[in-house]
Amino acid sequence: MSKESKIHPFFSILFFNFFAFLHAHTALQTYIVQLHPHGTTRPLFSSKSRWHLSFLKRTVSSEEHHSSRLLYSYSSAMEGFAAMLSESEMESLQKLPDVVAIRPDMRFQVQTTYSYKFLGLSPTREDAWYKSGFGRGVIIGVLDTGVWPESPSFNDQGMPPVPKKWRGICQEGQDFNSSNCNRKLIGARFFTKGHRMASTSASPENVQEYASPRDSHGHGTHTTSTAGGVSVPMASVLGLGSGVARGMAPGAHVAMYKVCWFSGCYSSDILAAMDVAIRDGVDVLSLSLGGFPLPLFADTIAIGSFRAMEHGISVVCAAGNNGPIQNSVANEAPWIATIGASTLDRRFPAFVQLDNGQFLNGESMYPGNRLSSTTKELELVYVTGGDNGSEFCFRGSLPREKVLGKMVVCDRGVNGRTEKGLAVKESGGAAMILANTAINLQEDSVDVHVLPATSIGFNEAVRLKAYLNSTSKPQARIVYGGTVIGKSRAPAVAQFSARGPSYSNPSILKPDVIAPGVNIIAAWPQNLGPSSLPEDTRRTNFTVMSGTSMACPHVSGIAALIRSAHPKWTPAAVKSAIMTTADVTDHSGHPIMDGDKPAGVFAIGAGHVNPERALSPGLIYDIRPDDYVTHLCTLRYTRSDIFAITHRNVSCNDLLQMNRGFSLNYPSISIIFKHGTRSKMIKRHVTNVGSPNSIYSVEVAAPEGVKVRVRPQRLIFKHINQSLSYKVWFISRKKAGRGEVDFAQGHLTWVHSQHGLYKVRSPISVTWK
């Protein structure tokens, strides 16, 4: 989700007498305790759960029974458990044999139609949808805020039977029973224990939180339908953006693992959901949640996803919404597909016409936005001064006598965008102009406001405020333009999309790719209005949201299409196909833009997803789980750090001796020159998944300041699934200044001899430190 909240104030819950219990245990905190999977004390117990409880029995000193402290037992995503402990109990537990690591519970946040057409998918011609059977037979597991099962996007008419391998359940709970699942939504579970322990107060009273898989916030319903929603004709947001709504893999099955609540998403609950999802039999895991970059050995999502990858599950995660700050990309483990956000070429124009004749470009999804409709001319007011945040339009900050019947200018930031409109409406204002600040520049996330409103970019905001200062009685009207497609350059990088280089692992280029994440229309629950405000009484089956949360399920759905077409491919092969076929030009044939400049590799990774080409990539870069372990050794992680991530007890000295000059077989290339190093050599191997008797020739665009040499320059494949290797030498022609960091980028592409039938492209990032 976008940084400001369409992620709502988040949410309300019925955990009965729980908070009284919590008050009595204020000294306790949730910890995740990781154990050795082949611990020396394990054989002494008849079950893993009894083994896990034995650790608590030896450390819990209070009079209560030690079992009341246990929250979860983990066995698939990690060996260990989550429990409530005091600091002294945690320190005692740390000294026991078989304890690998203890981590405090962490809070993550969710990162938040037409997009299938924009990506070149069509049900009327033989394209990626037909080649993959629309994703049939594949199961996408989504970790999010829950699901609204009655949404038409989860209708199972025409869906095949539930796959025989499925071992999941439809967990019953508040307003949710087993009949809410079907052949589309084949499973649903909820995980509350970590959240309940961490939440020191009940949720907001004006939103009902369901103690079940049911979604009361909309985010999970939206992301799940984006990944795998069925076709819904005549879908719109109160008449705007109308058309047929479809997920990326409309033939795939989906399962919801509800881990996010009003206060966020806790790592103990996330790990419990991943633990169960691995056993349930999902093929793809989609996580539109995250936080800030973490070392891999401290990152619960990285640890759980390593185990998922070992089980053949593709894990797709949002890159985060902390862009355009450098090093802000999250979920950066090399076995995760990390997804940034891009724009579509669909707009909802809503111009501001000033009474001096000027027009300011804006956008809005207020339901009054019909072609050629206008609001009446109103007096403009921008309430500033004081310290109550009136320029941001906080609720209660706008004096009624100043805004009654007027069009109010509100600066973007701090509080939610739709909440500003509600504040204006509550104070008697008639309309709103939401003005971007220097932080947001021209970024244009739209909303379904509760009053006539439009959002304008920073350049327009500067002009608007100059006009306000130039006249004693400023006046304006909003001129609506409906829905417009194809008139703007796209895709472009969303400004909020998190950027590389990776903070903890710069030797891997992140994000991997970008996908549509701005103004995405998808399914919405019936307990919430389309603005997501509790006070919004309107109801609709669809609404618009923005964020890397929305980009992530696009790629999860595309991964499902590839898994359906190529069921034996590894998660690394699926990710390679998505990365090496990505576009670096927009629909006009020009470079993808990032604001007013061409996008760099730290913004787009390998490029913008192209599902049609991803289904038939020609060559793939495959990676075995063992290779990731060797890669962790090259990062100089300790033996215990590597064990915490992989459950493998390895000697890095031995591994690196056996794999001299090792470089991970990643589809992108990241070279770092430091300490005066002038040359680097990397090795890659590619597997032919195109046609037999194929010849590929290399094309290189060398990064500035670097000489690149590739051997061999041709790869001749005789058979399908044959692998060949090549080496690349990078020779630096310059040095970084003392204390400076410098970057350059290029690309390496293997081109098929038959008129470029396949083009297998790897971006190159070079850093001097």
Q: State residue 111's pLDDT score.
A: 66
Helices assigned H by DSSP within 291-413? 300-310, 400-403
Separation of alpha carbons 17 and 24, rounded Å? 12
Averages of pLDDT over runs of 10 residues in the chain (769 residues) are: 37 31 59 92 90 92 80 93 92 93 88 62 66 88 97 94 96 96 97 86 65 94 95 79 85 97 91 97 94 87 96 97 90 97 89 91 77 76 86 91 94 88 94 89 83 92 94 91 82 93 90 94 89 86 90 97 96 98 95 94 97 96 97 93 93 92 96 88 97 96 96 97 98 75 93 88 94
Q: What is the pLDDT of residue 19?
A: 35
pTM more than 0.85? yes
Contact 331, 303 (CB under 8 A): no
A 10 A CB-CB count for 116 gives: 25
How far apart, in whole angstroms, are the C-alpha atoms of residue 455 and residue 447?
Answer: 9
Tokens of 356: 């001096």
Task: Give residue 12's identity as a one-letter amino acid code.
Answer: S
356 CB burial (10 A radius; 0-12, 13-18, 19+): exposed
Please tell me the predicted confidence (pLDDT) of residue 206. 56
654 catalytic, yes or no? no
Q: Given 52, 75, 105, 144, which residue is catalytic?
A: 144
Q: What pLDDT is attached to residue 653?
A: 93
Residue of 52, 219, 222, 253 marked catalytic: 219
pLDDT of residue 385: 80
Pure H helices in 625-676: 625-634, 639-646, 652-658
**Structure tokens given for 579:** 């990365």
Count other Cβ atoms within 10 Å, centred on residue 451: 18
Measured between alpha carbons, how far is 393 from 382 in angstroms, rounded to an integer? 10
Q: What pLDDT score does 7 carry?
A: 34
Residue 278 has what pLDDT?
Answer: 97
In whole angstroms, what is the distance from residue 8 CA to residue 109 CA? 12
CB 173 within 8 A of CB 141: no
**Is the torsion defined by CA of 439, 444, 450, 454 positive or negative?**
positive
**Which pLDDT does position 32 carry in this prediction?**
95
pLDDT at residue number 372: 53
- In whole angstroms, what is the distance from residue 190 CA to residue 260 CA? 9
Q: Among 714, 731, 496, 689, which Cα is nearest to 580's? A: 689
- Separation of alpha carbons 387 and 729, rounded Å: 59
Write the DSSP string, 409-436.
EEE-SSS-HHHHHHHHHHTT--EEEEE-
Active site residue 144: yes
- H-only helix segments in 354-457: 400-403, 417-426
Is 219 in the active site?
yes
Decide if 281 contacts 166 (C-beta within 8 A). yes
Helix 639-646 / helix 625-634 crossing angle, nearest 10 deg: 150
Catalytic residue selected from 151, 267, 549, 564: 549
> Which phi-psi region, left, alpha or beta, contains residue 238 (left: φ > 0; alpha: ψ -120 to 50)?
left
Instruction: Report the pLDDT value the prediction gives residue 208, as an integer from 0 to 100.
Output: 73
Residue 453, strand partner residues: 432
Position of tokens 């939103």?
A: 207
Q: What is the pLDDT of residue 698?
A: 97
